Amino acid sequence: MPIQKLKVGMAGLGRVGKIHVNNFLHQTPRADLVAAFSPDPAEITWGRQHLEPYGVTLYDDYDKMLEHPGLQAVVIGTATSVHAEETMKAIDRDLHVLCEKPLSTSVEVCKAVVQKAKIKPHLKVMCGFSRRFDTSYREVHSKITQGLIGRPSILRSQTCDKYDPSGFYVAYAAWSGGVFVDMSVHDIDLTLWFLGEDSIPKSISAHGITAVQPELKQYNDYDNAVGIVEFWGGKIAYYYCSRMMPHGQEDTTEVIGTEGKLSVNINPQRDFVNYYHSGGITREVPPTFVGRFGEAFVREANEFTAACLEGTPLPVRLGNAVKAVEIGAYLQEALVTGKQIRFDEIGRRVETAQL
């Protein structure tokens, strides 16, 4: 009896889109990539070389790809500005959706996506937070659940990219939502996973600098920023995000509990090789997030596929995607205004927005 396969369409063939394409085409045995969309002629040209030989049909119109015969699911890796629109269109076509983070830079738009997904509970709609699929982070969650560090109380987490002098991230800042929504949203999602999804912010503050890319100021963004979220119930999260690391990708996390501490990637290494020489001891660091989280993306693709085919629960609740963006947006506001934002015990903002 042939193995049942999920027929998948890919939206977006850029940096992240190519990661998903490779995973669903070559590393997800229960999925069959049958279609791909991009509005970019250069990406379509890439698709003709790398996808058409495998029987993938290319489209330069997203709506037409949604009409591809037998299509069952869509993976969305296009620009953030169209994530929500494309997700809702796919839901309207009765298709499962795996959408790259964030669903939107707008909290209200994120909520609209969640509400639309609730109308069709038989569909699997998931926002891709890749760190939830990383073996090390899953081990941290398991140890917290076992009570091995007591009550988790402090989280210290960072997302730090290798410096890119091309100007890509300056142009990207025009619509990314800012460093906290674009980068720290991963760390915020981990916070909700480790400290409790019912965690309610008490106060939010942030500070930033433009150390190497002053052009970011025109978009009210920064290349280095620090944010602190105090939660009701005696918990604090500290975030650091940066786009100027000279050595490579450095994403690390510490969770400090009342009876111990857990850490992930505190001494980042590309592999287990250390080079000993007259100048000291050298170890290499992954140049991009793919080097650190490549296997997590593969696991994400396989678990999403399995949930669609078997009707099992998704490993990430869609509602968390809204809460992560909401906290990220408040951090970005605090960063821009320089003012602390406060909330009452049920999450209502105490003061009016100052943007």
Report residue 226 as tokens. 């620090």
What is the mean predicted confidence (pLDDT) over 144-171? 96
Give the contacts of 245 (CB within 8 A, at least 6 positions apart).
160, 161, 162, 163
What is the mean predicted confidence (pLDDT) over 280-289? 94
Give the contacts of 345 (CB within 8 A, at least 6 positions apart).
200, 232
CA torsion sign, 13 to 15 to 17 to 19? positive
pLDDT computed for residue 302 by the predictor: 98
pLDDT computed for residue 37 by the predictor: 98
pLDDT computed for residue 80 by the predictor: 92
Q: Above 50 in pLDDT, residue 298?
A: yes
pLDDT computed for residue 352 by the predictor: 59
pLDDT computed for residue 2 by the predictor: 55
What is the mean predicted confidence (pLDDT) over 246-264? 97
pLDDT computed for residue 11 by the predictor: 98
Q: 100: pLDDT confidence band, cut at 50, 70 and 90?
A: very high
What is the mean predicted confidence (pLDDT) over 212-230? 96
What percentage of the chain exceeds 70 in pLDDT?
A: 98
What is the mean predicted confidence (pLDDT) over 49-72? 98
Distance (Å, whole) CA 127 – CA 117: 12
Average pLDDT of the chain, as a whole number: 96
Among 45-49, 62-66, 171-175, name the one with the lowest average pLDDT. 171-175
Based on the number of CB atoms within 10 Å of its own CB, is 135 exposed (0-12), middle (13-18) or buried (19 or more)?
exposed
Q: Above 80 in pLDDT, residue 3?
A: no
Domain 6-127 sits in CATH at: 3.40.50.720
Q: 355: pLDDT confidence band, cut at 50, 70 and 90?
A: very low
Q: Above 70 in pLDDT, residue 7?
A: yes
CATH 3.40.50.720 intervals, the chain = 6-127
What is the mean predicted confidence (pLDDT) over 349-355? 66
- Dihedral angle at the C-alpha atoms of 252, 289, 73, 25, nearest 10 degrees? -130
What is the mean predicted confidence (pLDDT) over 92-118? 97
What is the mean predicted confidence (pLDDT) over 14-35? 97
pLDDT computed for residue 1 by the predictor: 46
Topology of domain 135-294+324-350 in CATH is Dihydrodipicolinate Reductase; domain 2 (3.30.360)
DSSP letters, 285-341, are: --SSHHHHHHHHHHHHHHHHHHHHHH-PPPSS-HHHHHHHHHHHHHHHHHHHH---E
